Structure 1
Amino acid sequence: MTSRHIPCRAVLFDCDGVLVDSTGPAEDAWRQWAIEHGLDPEVVLDGMHGVRSQDTVAKYLPEDQRAAGNARIEEIEVSGAEGTVPIAGIPALLAGLPENWAVVTSATLPLLRARLAAAGLPLPSVVVTAELVGAGKPDPEGYLLAARRLGVPIGECVVVEDSAAGIQAGLAAGAGHVLGVGKEEHLDLAHSAVPDLTGVSWDGAGLRVG
């Protein structure tokens, strides 16, 4: 198979679905949360991927109950993070990267730490979590902030995403390339896509996709 080169100076990763597979633990957590709040779990699950927990909570709870609702889903998700595993190919890719990568996630910092630890993955020096942005994905704020903190123009960054909201955020930010991960139809929105990160590596001047 012929490999291709995606030039960049930095790589900005989403977490869930890109670095780690947390689908089972996350859906179990939201299912429990929905039942506790008298909501249809399947309706809640349908819209929770790729967006901040606080934005999901705000869709279903009145304003005076949102703080407690946010605290509760955080508690359930962090306590259930042990079922999280790395996405295929990501340990090798991260091991080969210099200090030029960041994580931009809709999760909170405690949840990000818990999931990366459960998957045995490192926490980079630059992370942008839900607490640090005024608007979550598909707003580009998180990716723009990560690029600034790395000191690299966003046009020289590759964004790696799996959700429609995340891909839209990367495109809106003006990333040089948005690489989709997975097999969902919305990955057609990205510049290119791979089923997982097996065979993706750093070649010194960008990503090499095998």
Structure 2
Amino acid sequence: MTRPPTTPAALLLDLDGTLVDSEPLHRRGYADWLAHRGWDVPDLSVFTGRRAEDVFVTEPGPWAGHDPLELLAEVLPFVPDEAPAPVPGARALVLAARSAGVPVAVVTSAGPAWVRLSLQESLSLSDGVDLVVTAEDVVDGKPDPAGFALACSSLGVDPSGAIAVEDSPAGVRAALGAGVGQVYGVTTTHARDVLLAAGALALVDDLTPLPGLVGL
């Protein structure tokens, strides 16, 4: 892995599994909901990095034929609302970008309330980041590139000069589809070969080395 020659135009960060270690909480909630429904529990990694309502529509499962938004409303009370632990290096990465004058956007499949909880309580970023793009801001969720494209256009940056960090193959593909120049994978939720196959430039185990790798 080599250091980019220039400071990035923007830093685009996924939230769940990238900035905060929330996937165990979410998977527990989905498993409890499925058990409550009396449904078999499938491979829950299908939800990682994606909006639940999109999964319900596009992926086979016991939810087939049900209204996706009604199912989403059912799931949410089962997901613990406790603040997730930060991924090591997450807060330092955001602060390094700020210090370098690089705008930071969170591009997530989560909703606004979860973003606020994670940024304020988990990461102690009470003043947030420059931009947040949530599940409510786009018609199509990851792996569709709409979220990353919206982030770049809102920040006024060329996506080819931006850097994205993602933990899921859906997120990696979304960032690349938006034309983001460099996409790093963090191996918190998926195997290394899965992220590389999706197109990640390079992989890290957590965010601690990222400031040095991306020119911050």
Q: TM-score over 0.5 for the alignment?
A: yes
How far apart, CA to CA, are the structure 1 residues paired with 2:124 and 2:51? 22
How far apart, CA to CA, are the structure 2 residues paired with 1:74 and 1:124? 25
Which structure features the higher share of strand residues? 1
Q: Which of the residues 66, 69, 86 maps onto 2:68?
A: 66
Q: Deviation at 1:61?
A: 4.8
Matched with 2:105 is: 102
How far apart, CA to CA, are the structure 2 residues paired with 1:6 and 1:121? 31
Matched with 1:4 is: 3
How far apart, CA to CA, are the structure 1 residues paired with 2:209 and 2:43? 35
Task: Please state whether the residue corresponding to 2:47 is helix, strand or coil.
Answer: coil
Q: Any conservation in 1 of the 2:192–2:203 contact (CA below 8 Å)?
A: no
Matched with 1:75 is: 77
Matched with 2:164 is: 159
Matched with 1:198 is: 208
- Range 190-199 or range 90-99, more displaced: 90-99
Alignment of 1:22-171 (within 5 A): 22-41=22-41, 43=42, 45-58=44-57, 59=59, 60-63=63-66, 65-77=67-79, 80-82=80-82, 84-98=84-98, 100-122=103-125, 123-171=128-176
Query: Normalization by structure 1: what TM-score?
Result: 0.86
Alignment of 1:171-186 (within 5 A): 171-182=176-187, 183-186=191-194
Change (3 A) 1:181 1:75: same
> Structure 1: where are the runs of 5+ without partners?
none
Matched with 1:207 is: 214
- Range 135-144 or range 67-76, more displaced: 67-76
Q: Any conservation in 1 of the 2:16–2:22 contact (CA below 8 Å)?
A: yes
> Structure 2: where are the runs of 5+ without partners?
none
Query: Normalization by structure 2: what TM-score?
Result: 0.84
Amino acid at match of 2:69: A
Q: Deviation at 1:10?
A: 0.4
Q: Deviation at 1:16?
A: 1.0
Q: Any conservation in 2 of the 1:82–1:118 contact (CA below 8 Å)?
A: no
Report how many residues are paired: 201
Change (3 A) 1:83 1:16: same
Q: Deviation at 1:39?
A: 1.7
Per-residue Cα deviation, 1:7-43 (whole angstroms, up to 9, x for no partner): 31100001111111112111111111111222212x1
Q: Deviation at 1:81?
A: 3.2
Over the residues paired in the alignment, what is the CA RMSD in angstroms? Answer: 2.2
**How many percent of aligned residue pairs carry the same amino acid?**
34
- Range 89-98 or range 20-29, more displaced: 89-98
